[in-house]
Chain A
Amino acid sequence: MAVDLRGLAHKTWRSIASIQTGVVLLILVVILSAVGTIVLQRPVTEPDEMQNAYSPQVLRILDAVGLTDVFHAWWFLGLMLLVSLCIVAASVDRFPNSWRYFSRPYKYPDESFRRALHPQKSVAIADEESGLVAAQRALHSLGFNPERVVREDHFGIFAERHRISELAVYIVHASLLLIFFGTIVDGLWGWRGTLNLNEGQTSNFVELRDGATRTLPFAIRCDSAGQENYKDGTPKKWWSKLAVVADGRDVRKKEIVVNDPLLYSGVRFYQSSYGPNGKVDKFLLVAAPSNGSGEKREIGLAVNDTFPLDADTTVRFAEFIPDYAVRDGQVYRKSNELQNPAAHLIVTSKSAGKAFDVWFPRMDEVADNSKSPYQFQATDLKMGHFTGLQVSHEPGQWGVWSGVVLLGIGLAFVFYVVHMRFWAVPVCDPKTGKYSLWIGGTANRNRDAFEQRFSDLAASVEAELKSLAIISQSEQVATGVGNCSR
């Protein structure tokens, strides 16, 4: 029974590690993600748009199966986990072989290997030593670092380059796993939300995607925000001057724009929108005494500001109504949209013990502006603005980015770094009793370019042999002239 179990586990492992499983999983991922781009997706599409697009029954089925939020469905996550498992299994299954290949390079080719290898070439040599020296010199001149290999009573030359290329595919697979790991960490511990701030406002509540709020351990204050436009009126730039407030102190200040966020203790603040908040920043007025005796003065008021006009009289900006309507001598707030604004000032005179209402625009059925001791002329209404911030915390993104960098390096190695190996072995032909130098080479990719390199090497070996022969002749050394029969 135990043996059976082990056999079963082994079988499962083999099938997970197989390329067929990988391909089937990839096809599944492709199909499901394609479906996810064709069916409207939930959090992005508004509910009423969904109802417009699909009939209720269809929508119910889609929701039940999870096709309206494919990329966050449990089965999609499960599929991604299976893909990761498949990558791990395939890598673990194949790695020992590659590692053996990498850690114990094959330096001395045996006879069957020599017979099967392509490309190869045999060159006639005088004796073992001259062949070895020629091969060594030729490889040196090609920029290799050849070594002499001894097997029992045989000698050989071995040279290689970029052995690491054999492991490159594992770098690629590991980097993919690192990216998956990063996204999983973000999925579990990361969050995203929005934070809208009026100019001057401080807040530490972030509204999350799912409607919950999150309290930050520090607060963000928006000192000012603004928008710049192109000539045709389309927005060119949004900016906000933000300050991070912790323990009642400003610990960091930065002006952020789109594409340049503020980062503080792992939380990023992105500029995402900008607009009027329906509140008054400053109401600019020119005030002049009604009796015409004093000078005109320019004043600017925020809501609830009180300003002394002279020793006896003050003015207060009592109320701002963005969209007003008048009924029965009363002013009502119709909505909070900035459609039809009205401003209410109260001028108080101490000596007269009286307060006068002043309305902008003039509303004679509500108040008579001319009774007031001062007359006002509105020059400008400066509205306040809010800045819309995206807030996100992505603790896993460093995994993602390091995975991406590793992926780039791995792919560069996979496609452009070639593991080349060359062998040279002096061989004795027992029939003729002559020595010849067997040269062979192999590359793990880009074989056509390698064959050119190999023929260069062979030519270079022959040239070296020739020059060696000239030297040996000039030294008048008597040799066996390629006879190896003993």
Chain B
Amino acid sequence: MARAKAEQQQPATGMTLIVMVGLAIAFLLFMAFLNVVKSGNLLSETNLLFATLIFYAGAGALYLGFGVTGTESYVKFASLATWLGLIANTAAVVHRWYEAGHPPFASVYEMLLSFVWTLAVLTLVAEKKYGVKVIGTVTMPVAIVGVVLMQLLRTEVHPLVPALQSTWLHVHVTLAMLAYAACALSFALAMMFLIQDNMKTETFLAFTSASTLAIYASVVLTRFEKWGGLSLVAWNPENKAEVFLSKGVRLFVTIPDLGWQMTLTLLVVASPLVFYALARWKNNHSFLTLANRAVFLSILLQVMTLVMFLVRAKDGRYPSLDADGLFPTSLAASPFILSGLVGGVFISLLYLLLMWRRPDLGRLLPSADNLDRITYKTICLAFPLLTLMIAAGAYWANQTWGSYWSWDPKETWAAITWLVYAGYLHMRITRGWRGRRAAYFAILGFAVVMFTFFGVTYLLPGLHAYA
């Protein structure tokens, strides 16, 4: 139905969107300029990041427009916006480097800064060198989420503690960044392969619903409190740090009623999966229509939940079950939940994009065979980089802690990532796995990478306390 609508539309020249995005960028830059005039500080990192965000957002909108309508002229302007954003991003990196006196690798904030930069570079490389124009549709929103997350994290320059003062820090982290970016690229390529391979939209629907369900289930299961509250970590705005009751025990505050809302959203994001299962079971197509409607409802509720979460967890004082009185919390205290919620909305929107895709989207992408081969090639690049990253980390650990391997969670998960990709290579080389199965494997690998990068930092304790 929606697809039919898209086909009815005239093949517009695409000027409308370009002009709109251009005007939006100009407007935001003008506002930023007024702000700069007021503060009189042009080249502050905040301003540079703001410019980065504006340009990336514009590029993301244009890439999305290209993904949906296939209008070629969008891509030109999208890559222009990406270039401008990349310049601002580079300036922010340089500024940070100069300010801190070390490359920006020493905290989650700095890692994100470098990661977003690498992602933008790789997007441009993939577009110019390999002609994969649609890739910005996936990578730019990821970059935007990264820049938004950065606004919430601690930004002060921290001097390097003694253990981090080593050349191996730079070797290790540069390799990690390159390896993770290559993994991200292989993920995007594998997704495109699945689209090009005419994978059924329903399968994506099940994927989307399952992953959003996993996000909400993990939030509700770990954070649902008595009487429908949602417990979040208390945040001390002066120290910009979490509040600890005693060593290793964090203080949690409860935001009333948010737990109910989360549970409701959990049920709604689960419903497309239920309808999908019913459709498969009863072999009845009308359930799929219901499932697609449920996706709309789930996006609506997810956005509402996200807004409520943003409004209520941004500031404010809430009671705690463990101590008397009201305690402040902040978005910065729960980056994991926040990125989960944003990620859920993002995945669902990607599905919508796929549902509304033009039937000739395939024409815009390289052939399925080519995508399969490029995915394999990026993994061939990522795997040695992962190996070297782990080796450099082990050598550095040996220099600092006197042991090259201590089974710390980050180390262990890096090894798990390595094993997953080793499994991919073995299945591909000795068993001749191609196409869909290989693509699923590449997606699994990237999921593990993301968990190693974010999940381990925020969920599992260990020596890697810096990032």
B384, B405, B460: the one contacting A415 at CB < 8 Å is B384
Q: Which residue of A lies closest to B369 (CB)?
A: A448
Find A29's partner among B380, B396, B419 (CB 8 Å cutoff): B419
| Distance of A83 Cα from B420 Cα, bound (Å) | 15
B13 within 8 A of partner (CB): no
Q: Please report the total number of B residues contacting A with Cβ < 8 Å.
A: 47
| Contact call B380/A36, Cβ cutoff below 8 A | no
Known: A29-B419, A391-B402. A36 touches B159 (CB 8 A): no
Cα distance A272–B401 when bound, in Å? 7
Give chain A interface residues in 1-58, CB to chain B under 8 Å: 19, 22-23, 26-27, 29-30, 33-34, 36-38, 41, 49, 52
The answer to whether B159 and A230 touch across the interface, beta carbons within 8 angstroms, is yes
Structural contact, A407 and B400, CB atoms closer than 8 A: no
B165 and A259: CB pair below 8 A? Answer: yes
The number of residue pairs between A and B whose CB atoms lie closer than 8 Å in the complex comes to 107
A235 CA to B416 CA, complexed, in Å: 34
* Min CB gap B102→A, angstroms: 12
Q: Choose, from B69-77, B136-144, B406-414, the stretch at the interface.
A: B406-414
Which residues of the other chain, A, contact B431 by a CB distance below 8 angstroms? Answer: 19
In terms of DSSP, what is the predominant structure of the interface of chain B?
Answer: helix
Closest to B399 in A: A259
Residue B35, interface by CB 8 Å: no
Select the stretch in B48-56, B263-271, B387-395 that faces chain A.
Answer: B387-395
B415 in the interface, Cβ–Cβ < 8 Å?
yes
Interface size class of A (residues with CB under 8 A): 35 or more
Decide: B426 and A33 in contact? CB cutoff 8 A.
no
A270 CA to B412 CA, complexed, in Å: 23
Check A215 for interface membership: any CB of B closer than 8 A: no
Bound Cα distance from A392 to B27, whole angstroms: 61
User: Considering the chains assembled together, what is the distance between the CA atoms of A415 and B381 in angstroms?
Assistant: 8
- What separation, in Å, do the CA atoms of A412 and B380 have in the docked complex? 10
Complex-state Cα separation, A52 to B246, whole angstroms: 12
Expressed in whole angstroms, the Cα–Cα distance for A404 and B395 within the complex equals 10
B162 and A23 contacting across the interface, CB-CB below 8 Å:
no
List CB contacts (< 8 Å) of A267-287 with chain B. 268, 270-272
Q: B40 in the interface, Cβ–Cβ < 8 Å? A: no
Residues of B within 8 A of A232 (CB): 159
Q: In the complex, how many angstroms separate the beta carbon of A39 from the nearest chain B beta carbon?
A: 10
Q: B162's closest neighbor in chain A, by CB?
A: A258
Q: Is A71's CB under 8 angstroms from B402's CB?
A: no
How many angstroms between the C-alpha atoms of A261 and B373 in the bound complex? 46
Closest-by-CB residue of B relative to A269 is B402
Query: Which residue of chain B has the shortest Cβ distance to A233 in the bound complex?
Result: B159
Interface class of chain A by DSSP:
helix
Indicate if B283 sits at the interface (CB-CB under 8 A): no
Interface centre among A33, A37, A400 (most CB of B within 10 A): A37
Q: Does A238 lie at the interface of the complex (its beta carbon under 8 Å from any beta carbon of B)?
A: yes
Q: How far is the CA of A236 from the CA of B396 in the complex (A)?
A: 18
Q: Decide yes or no: A448 and B373 within 8 Å by CB, A257-B162, A390-B401 being known contacts.
A: yes
Per-residue contact bits, chain B 1-20, to A (CB 8 Å; 1 contact, 0 not): 00000000000000000000
- Whether B162 and A259, one on each chain, are in contact in the complex, defined by CB atoms closer than 8 angstroms, is yes
On whether A258 and B163 interact (CB within 8 A), knowing A19-B426, A22-B426, A37-B456, the answer reads yes
Q: Taking the complex as formed, is A371 at the interface, i.e. its CB lies under 8 A from any CB of chain B?
A: no
Q: Which of B394, B412, B456 contacts A36 (CB 8 A)?
A: B412
A183 within 8 A of B: yes
Tell me how far the C-beta of B88 lies from the nearest C-beta in chain A, rounded to whole angstroms.
29
Q: State whether A234 touches B161 (Cβ < 8 A).
A: yes
Return the chain A residue nearest B165 by Cβ. Answer: A259
Q: State whether the Cβ of A408 lies closer than 8 Å to any Cβ in chain B.
A: yes
Docked Cα-Cα span, A397 to B402, in Å, equals 11
Any chain B CB within 8 A of the CB of A260?
yes
Check if A41 sits within 8 Å of B419, measured CB to CB. no
B359 contacts the other chain (CB 8 A): no
Give the CA-CA distance A261 to B387 in the complex, in Å. Answer: 25
Known A34-B416, A52-B249, A183-B405; judge A397-B460 contact (CB<8 A).
Answer: no
State A400–B403 Cα separation when bound (angstroms).
Answer: 12
Give A177-196 as 1s and 0s: 1 = Cβ < 8 Å from B's Cβ atoms: 00000010000000010000
Contact with A along B202-246 (1 / 0, CB 8 A): 000000000000000000000000000000000000000000000
CA distance A27 to B419 in the complex (A): 9
What is the minimal beta-carbon distance from B175 to any residue of chain A, in angstroms? 12
Residue of A238, A257, A259, A394 ringed by the most chain B CB atoms within 10 A:
A259
Closest chain A residue to B390, Cβ basis: A404
- Closest A residue by C-beta to B463: A44
Output the least CB separation between A455 and chain B (Å): 18
A259 near B166 (CB under 8 angstroms)?
A: yes
- B398 at the binding interface (Cβ < 8 Å): yes
| A154 CB → nearest B CB, Å | 34
A381–B416 CA distance with the chains assembled, in angstroms: 53
CA A415 to CA B385, docked complex, whole Å = 12
Q: Given the interface contacts A37-B413, A407-B391, does A30 sit within 8 Å of B420 by beta carbon?
A: yes
B404 close to A (CB within 8 Å): yes
Assess whether B321 is interfacial by the CB under 8 Å rule. Answer: no
Asked if B248 is at the interface of the complex by the 8 Å CB criterion, the answer is: yes
Give the 8 A-B CB pairs with smallest separation, nearest first: A258-B162, A37-B409, A392-B402, A71-B407, A230-B159, A390-B402, A270-B402, A404-B391
Can you name 19 A-B pairs with beta carbons within 8 Å? Answer: A19-B431, A26-B419, A26-B423, A37-B409, A37-B412, A71-B407, A183-B405, A234-B161, A236-B159, A259-B400, A261-B399, A261-B402, A390-B401, A394-B404, A397-B398, A404-B391, A415-B380, A415-B381, A415-B383
